[in-house]
Chain A
Amino acid sequence: MKKLTNKFAIYLALLLPMSLFGETEVQSSISDQAAAYLATNAKYHVVVAVLVVILLGLVVYGLILNRKISNLEANQK
């Protein structure tokens, strides 16, 4: 039950802050400047490369986990 309460608290912690933020004005000029900075310095490629590396890391982790679980299943049999 404690485990579930913890899980539920995490879900709530993720969801509730979204509704608590106020309706403040978006400073679009800041995001425009950021976009322009990324574009002019070709930093988009760095962002994409980092995201791809993170994703591939997660995929490798998933495959390792898959193998470990397969071994556990084989041991149980």
Chain B
Amino acid sequence: MNEKLIKRSKWLLVLGAILVVYTLIGGLLIPLKTGVSGSDKLKIKSTVLDSVKFEIYNPVPELIIEGAYLSKSDQIWKSQSVDNYGKTLIATFDVSLGDQKSGYADAFIRGQFQGQDSFVWLYLSNALWIEKSANDSTSNAIADPSILDNTRIIDEVQGGFPNRVVLNESIRNLLYHVPMWFSMMFLLAVSMYFSIKYLRFGHLKDDWISMSFLHVGILNGILGCITGSIWARVTWMSWWPADDPKLNGVAIGMFMYFAYLVLRASIKDEYQKARIASVYNVLVFPIFMALIAIMPKLADNSLHPGTGGSVGFNKYDLDNTLRMFFYPAILGWIAIFSFIAILRYRIERIHQRQLDLDNE
């Protein structure tokens, strides 16, 4: 590793700290966009006048709500009336399904934002189960089912972080959980590079660099597990969903790297230790990447986005406002943990030099 880079490594910390403080302040203070977070009822009966209370998250006065709609199998029903109380919206429906069967309907809240001519909508997937009554024979769906096509989702016009039903405020964890894994992958890749370098040239310092980056990479992995576990508890209702292939891959991969630590500690001779550990590191890294990046994509039962055929997080959930903080967060955390890894290497180097001096 270049001595100039080592001497200037404190600037890595300063740069990382600036970026992380920026993401910390912005990432926690920017509000979520307005959205529908739920309703008080799970089921309504057709041909019966029924009112449903929708919970509106982060309501803003700029949004003037015009009506609530239920959509099922390409047909749309408009509410008879809506009463807006800010954080709650009471909509009264009288739905006749006609030739349709009972089933889930999506809810759309339609309104005008900041006095614009075009309409925007808030959306709640599978909001209500509509139970078909015995006397329900003629549909009273509105004539023009394309009414929602001419409106825009509120995400396109309102500022703030995306509001998603399951994620809700926890979407901010994207700025901490994902950068930990990016940082870990970066550090482990650097570690593998220096392992290869050691095997090629045989300089012990390359092995110390490899070991230092690997140690900090493992720390990153643990932090990624902790932040992910907290996120899983909020969104998936479990600290560690046992069936998720990505989590299983991570657990196996982490234990493979723990085995690296055991392997290093079990060998006394410095050169033998460095050689065997380097070979192990070069072998483990591709397997680890396969376990956390390739295997979950092939599995069909992963909860993580972008796996098992589902769309990635950046398809719907990552908008430009979030990107303004997400990318700096990745760079910031990589810079901070790289500084720690370099510091760890320097301590190891001092230790080894001291041992040499003592032996002399």
Q: Identify the A interface with B (CB < 8 A).
A: 1, 4, 7-8, 11, 14-15, 18-19, 21, 23-26, 31, 35, 44-45, 47-48, 51-52, 55-56, 59, 62-63, 65-66, 69-70, 72-73, 76
Please, which residues of chain B bring their CB within 8 A of the CB of A52?
A: 21, 24-25
Take A19-B242, A21-B240, A26-B234 as given contacts and tell me if A55 and B350 are in contact as well, using a CB distance cutoff of 8 Å. Answer: no
A56 partner, pick from B21, B265, B347, B350, beta carbons under 8 A: B21
Specify which chain B residues have a CB less than 8 angstroms from the CB of A62 in the assembled complex.
Answer: 10, 13, 339-340, 343
5 residue pairs of the A-B complex, CB under 8 angstroms, read A1-B265, A19-B240, A48-B24, A51-B24, A62-B340
With A and B bound together, what is the CA distance between A45 and B353 in angstroms? 47
User: Shortest CB–CB separation between residue A54 and chain B, in angstroms?
Assistant: 10
A7 touches B261 (CB 8 A): yes
Q: How far is the CB of A14 from chain B (nearest CB, A)?
A: 5
Q: A7-B261, A18-B229, A56-B21 are in contact. Are A73 and B28 (CB under 8 A)?
A: no
A76 adjacent to B24 (CB under 8 Å): no
CB-CB < 8 A to B9: which residues of A? 66
- Looking at chain B's contact residues, the main secondary structure is helix
Which residue of chain B has its CB nearest to the CB of A21? B239
Binds A, one of B72-80, B218-226, B282-290, B300-308: B218-226
The SS class assigned to the A binding surface is: helix
Contact assessment for A8 and B29 in the assembled complex, using a CB-CB cutoff below 8 Å: no
Q: Is the CB of B258 within 8 A of A48?
A: no
Q: Known: A18-B225, A19-B242. Contact between A48 and B28, CB under 8 A?
A: yes
Also in contact, A56 and B28, with CB within 8 A (given A66-B9, A76-B354) = no
Contact indicator B29/A23 (Cβ below 8 Å): no
- Chain B residues within 8 Å of A11, by CB: 218, 222, 258
Taking the nearest CB of chain B, how far is it from the CB of A48, in angstroms? 5
Complex: how many Å from CA A72 to CA B265? Answer: 26
| B262 CB contact (under 8 Å) in A4, A23, A24, A51 | A4
Quick check: B233 and A26 within 8 Å, CB to CB? yes
Given contacts A14-B222, A18-B240, A52-B25, contact A65 B350 (CB under 8 A): no
A61 to B20, CA, bound (A): 16
Determine the interface band of chain B, counting residues with CB < 8 A from chain A: 35 or more
- Mark out the residues of chain B between 1 and 57 whose CB falls within 8 Å of any chain A CB in the assembled complex: 7, 9-10, 13-14, 17, 20-21, 24-25, 28-29
Minimum distance in angstroms from B152 CB to a CB of chain A:
27
Contact with A along B227-239 (1 / 0, CB 8 A): 0010001100111
Determine whether B169 belongs to the interface, using a CB cutoff of 8 Å to chain A: yes
Does B346 touch A at the CB level, under 8 Å? yes
A55 to B21, CA, bound (A): 8
- Residues of A near B354 (CB, < 8 A) are 76
A24 to B233, CA, bound (A): 9
* Chain A residues closer than 8 Å to B346, beta-carbon distance: 69, 73
Asked if residues B10 and A63 are in contact (CB atoms below 8 Å), the reply is yes
> Chain A residues near B82 (CB, 8 Å)?
none
**From B14, B237, B240, B261, residue with most partner A Cβ within 10 Å:** B240
Tell me how far the C-beta of B284 lies from the nearest C-beta in chain A, rounded to whole angstroms.
16
Give the distance to chain B from A28, nearest Cβ to Cβ, in Å.
Answer: 8
B234 adjacent to A31 (CB under 8 Å): yes
Task: Assess the A23–B343 pair: CB atoms within 8 A.
Answer: no
Which residues of B have CB within 8 Å of A48?
24-25, 28-29
Q: Which residue of A lies closest to B257 (CB)?
A: A11
Contact: A15 with B225, CB < 8 Å? yes
Given A8-B258, A76-B354, A55 and B239 touching (CB < 8 A)?
no
B93 to A: closest C-beta gap in Å: 25
**Is B204 among interface residues, defined by CB-CB distance under 8 A?**
no
Give every chain A residue within 8 A of B169 (Cβ-Cβ).
Answer: 35
Contacting residues, chain B, for A21 (C-beta < 8 A):
238-240
